[in-house]
């Protein structure tokens, strides 16, 4: 995501530099300046600096903030573009504000394709920092794909709800595929999803990704084990605490758990679409499973 945003920024004549633990030759070959130390990274940027973090949620965000803040000046802006828990973002904003740094929680959607050609940003934070970062975010967003959602934490909360809706939609489409595959008719599923992408009530990117996945990979070679990093689990817990019924989203999480136990057409469909929009792996992934356990700091 971060690399694709950097490439998009270059094309739009936005000065960009990346800080990584190691060199990124694939980005450097395309013109992105990449450094491995904070000093040249910060020196490259004009004040007030606008810095976008593309990191896995959890302690890594705090580690990088603690390392980075020593090199920053009052009025600089740091955005967390990952899927952090919104209460963690509220805590981080308070901590950064005491050091004179604007901290924005920047929910980012659109997958790898969106990051490359026009993303969707949901930004929470105080207006001072938002005004500094907003011109860059609007430039990198698809048309009407930028919104300032309000106070600190609101951007990541809105993105969390977005991810819950996404889970429900994925499950519904997957169940539809199960019905189509078991219908007894000789159906061309790719052609059907192409049809549904044009004028139907359920048209949309996930339907388009389902058609693309069916044509490029098919269903038979897809594992039905679906990994996730656990964000929607937080949403379900939050809803329980607030006594807000979300049966569809809750059930979609239960179905995800079931995907790790049984082979099923619906789960294969979900895996196919998730791979299409986010490059999520097919089958089990130990690193993602670990992230599910460590990516939230604050308790609900």
Check 19, 93, 134, 166 and give the catalytic one. Answer: 166
> Residue 123 and residue 37: Cα distance in Å, rounded?
27
Please state whether beta strands 102-109 and 119-124 pair in parallel, antiparallel, or not at all (unpaired).
antiparallel
Check 19, 93, 159, 265 and give the catalytic one. Answer: 159
Residue 245, number of CB atoms within 10 A of its CB: 9
Number of helical H runs and strand E runs in the chain: 14, 7
Query: What b/e sequence results for 179-208 when a residue is b if at least 16 CB atoms lie within 10 Å of its CB, and e otherwise?
Result: ebeeeeeeeebbebbbebbeeeeeeebbbb
> Residue 299 and residue 262: Cα distance in Å, rounded?
31
Is position 159 annotated as part of the catalytic site?
Answer: yes
- 181 secondary structure, DSSP code: H
First to last CA, the chain: 28
> Residue 44 and residue 268: Cα distance in Å, rounded?
45
Is position 284 annotated as part of the catalytic site?
Answer: no
Q: Which residues are the active-site residues?
A: 159, 166
């Amino acid at each position: 995501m971060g690399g694709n945003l950097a490439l998009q920024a270059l094309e739009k004549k936005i000065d960009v530099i990346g800080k990584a633990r190691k060199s990124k030759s694939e980005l450097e070959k395309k013109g992105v300046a990449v450094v491995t130390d904070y000093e040249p990274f910060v020196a490259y940027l004009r004040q007030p600096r606008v810095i976008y973090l593309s990191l896995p949620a959890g302690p890594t965000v705090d580690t990088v903030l603690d390392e980075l803040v020593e090199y920053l000046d009052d009025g600089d802006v740091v955005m967390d573009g990952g899927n952090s828990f919104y209460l963690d973002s509220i805590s981080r904003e308070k901590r950064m504000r005491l050091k004179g740094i604007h901290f924005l929680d920047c929910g980012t959607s659109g997958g790898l394709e969106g990051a490359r050609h026009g993303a969707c940003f949901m930004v929470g934070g105080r207006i001072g920092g938002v005004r500094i970062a907003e011109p860059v975010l609007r430039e990198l967003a698809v048309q009407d794909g930028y919104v300032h959602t309000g106070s600190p934490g609101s951007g990541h909360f809105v993105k969390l709800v977005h991810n819950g809706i996404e889970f429900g939609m994925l499950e519904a489409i997957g169940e539809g595929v199960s019905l189509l595959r078991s219908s007894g008719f000789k159906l061309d599923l790719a052609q059907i999803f192409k049809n549904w992408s044009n004028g139907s009530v359920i048209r949309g990117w996930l339907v388009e990704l389902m058609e693309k996945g069916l044509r490029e990979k098919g269903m038979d070679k897809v594992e039905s084990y679906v990994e996730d990093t656990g964000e929607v689990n937080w949403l379900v817990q939050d809803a329980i605490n607030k006594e807000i019924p979300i049966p569809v989203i809750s059930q979609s999480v239960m179905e995800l758990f079931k995907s790790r136990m049984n082979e099923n057409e619906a789960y294969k469909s979900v895996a196919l679409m998730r791979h299409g929009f986010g490059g999520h792996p097919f089958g089990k992934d130990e690193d993602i499973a670990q992230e599910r356990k460590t990516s939230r700091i604050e308790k609900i």
